[in-house]
Structure 1
């Protein structure tokens, strides 16, 4: 059996998740059906199916339960040792339940028949367990590779965000050092917070922290644009205990600053709305669009597409980002499910 990068914990990660438990029960039931409907069997088929199903499910459930209670000890061992314990437990409980069922369900009295019955069951269980574990590990490794690729793509998308706002923020801090040392210090502290957030690519943070980070970004840009930049925050007084991907709101505000405030000589008001329902968090960011914006910033689709891709990866297609440009107002709406969190 091939080794994986997570060799020591791979067996238990695959076996003790929801799919692993369900797969083990389904496989045991399929085998029970095959054995019950085997040709040349004179017993009542449905009674035989019930007995075999109970027999196999008991072996699977008791064996996996024993493995589960030993998992902390076994996780420190090699994969070979883990697999050895896995097969020993399955064969041990196969022998125990074979002996019990031989007396109470199959009416086997003589020793030779009991040995043959037990040995046959052990061989069947060993072969099925080997095939099941092999396919389970292959499936789990493939799932882990898919997650790793998604994580790499998410990191790449996140990396595109960093240079843009870091470049502008560094310029702002550099300009402030010549005019206001205290403001420059505050700008550098805000920049440090933004830089720290940029390094938490793909991680989730509390909604309150994301809003605080966005306000720090706005403070940086306020030093840059002065009275030209105004924010209208329309958020609930009490925020829900909800985690969202780091740098979800801040890039939306940055996009509004770049396309609504920077090209305008008189500035603009950016409205940030947060609406919370039982199942969703809705973020709406609006900014005015002028003729100057259209000339200097012909398209902002790349930045928003970046955000859309990040949300799509993080929430597996359950989040939505929509754009509307009507009557001189550009509106970005993000809808995030509250009860779905990435396992990347």
Structure 2
């Protein structure tokens, strides 16, 4: 399923092997060296200290970037907290290594210091810990801001592409045309369902309620049932009534069902069951969608539906980390689970 993704859309780590990142890191290292050189209370020559600290910081930066560049692929799989710990750990290891090397080299060249080697290393590790922690914190703020802006732009762009899906529109119109001669009332109902779906598609930047999303999803499935006939078997027990009033982005539920139709039902000639369940908890409501895996002998069709990654981004813009969308294979079934928070009365 080319529109199905189970990971974050944007990597946490930048491309450390690029000259731009290397130059930016070295400039940051020189900036820290300059701050340490002009700090008040220094008795030694400031330019000499700046040169020494710059040499030290440059080696630490280059070795750290090289390690991150070499480990970039496995590091991309880590979650933010684990990734931050590993990056900080690599920085401290490189700092300790360069500190020992610098201490031995400088003392051999006649550098006089009252600090023993452990004290010298500990001093440098403390500075690296503070600078590295601040750098990770600043980067996390920048990444979160960029991700939100990028997610909003991507959602708006994808919404423009998703407003009118030609394959769905043509299939639905063909279905309506066929029903006009055989069942005019069903054709009228199909036209109304089609209008509801495309009315929502034209307002993909707006919000809706979970109850409205359920109604829209059922109308979409009604259209697909007219088109696919007995090939589509829908197992959707009635959701608990009344559904909690949860505000969600428009077209959050329908694209998930569209993926199930396109990648499971349309790729089979035999009847295929799509299961939808709604589970209500005290603080959240969950929507589960299950469908059989696509046949291995059928080629993947190009996906032009709204991807799971896009829906995750839209949910993140509205709920932060309070909502989640997970997808994966469970017992030979592809399962998508959408978890939405329920607003607590009186909560801020």
1:307 aligned to 295, 304, 311, which one?
A: 311
Distance 1:265 1:198 in 2: 29
Shift of 1:278: 2.3
- CA deviation profile, 1:260-280 (whole Å, cap 9, x unmatched): 111111121111111122222
Does the CA-based 8 Å contact 2:248-2:315 persist in structure 1? Answer: no
Does the CA-based 8 Å contact 1:227-1:267 persist in structure 2? Answer: yes
Shift of 1:196: 0.9
Partner SS, residue 205 of structure 2: coil
Partner SS, residue 296 of structure 1: coil
1:54-69 to 2 correspondence within 5 Å? none
Structure 2 equivalent of residue 246 of structure 1: 250
Gaps of at least 5 residues in structure 1 are 1-144
Shift of 1:180: 3.1
Structure 2 equivalent of residue 226 of structure 1: 229
Distance 1:267 1:172 in 2: 19
Higher relative contact order (CA 8 A, sep 6+): 2
Structure 1 equivalent of residue 342 of structure 2: 338
Structure 1 equivalent of residue 45 of structure 2: none
Tell me whether 1:161 sits opposite 2:165 in the alignment.
no
1:182-193 to 2 correspondence within 5 Å? 182-193=185-196
Distance 2:317 2:341 in 1: 13
Distance 1:251 1:149 in 2: 20
Shift of 1:236: 1.4
Distance 2:275 2:288 in 1: 8
Shift of 1:298: 6.6
1:264-279 to 2 correspondence within 5 Å? 264-279=268-283
Tell me whether 1:295 sits opposite 2:304 in the alignment.
no
Tell me whether 1:177 sits opposite 2:183 in the alignment.
no
Shift of 1:183: 2.1
Distance 1:169 1:162 in 2: 15
Distance 2:339 2:232 in 1: 26
- CA deviation profile, 1:291-341 (whole Å, cap 9, x unmatched): 25x62337869722232232233323432111111332110111122239x
**RMSD of aligned residue pairs (Cα, Å):** 3.0
Shift of 1:281: 1.9
Partner SS, residue 259 of structure 2: helix
Rg comparison, structure with higher value: 1
Distance 1:298 1:305 in 2: 18
Gaps of at least 5 residues in structure 2 are 1-145
1:256 aligned to 260, 265, 270, which one?
A: 260
1:167/1:316 CA distance change after superposition, 3 Å: farther
Tell me whether 1:285 sits opposite 2:297 in the alignment.
no
Does the CA-based 8 Å contact 2:285-2:340 persist in structure 1? Answer: yes
- For these two proteins, the number of residue pairs brought into alignment is 196
Partner SS, residue 298 of structure 2: helix
Bigger mean CA deviation after superposition, 230-239 or 256-265: 230-239
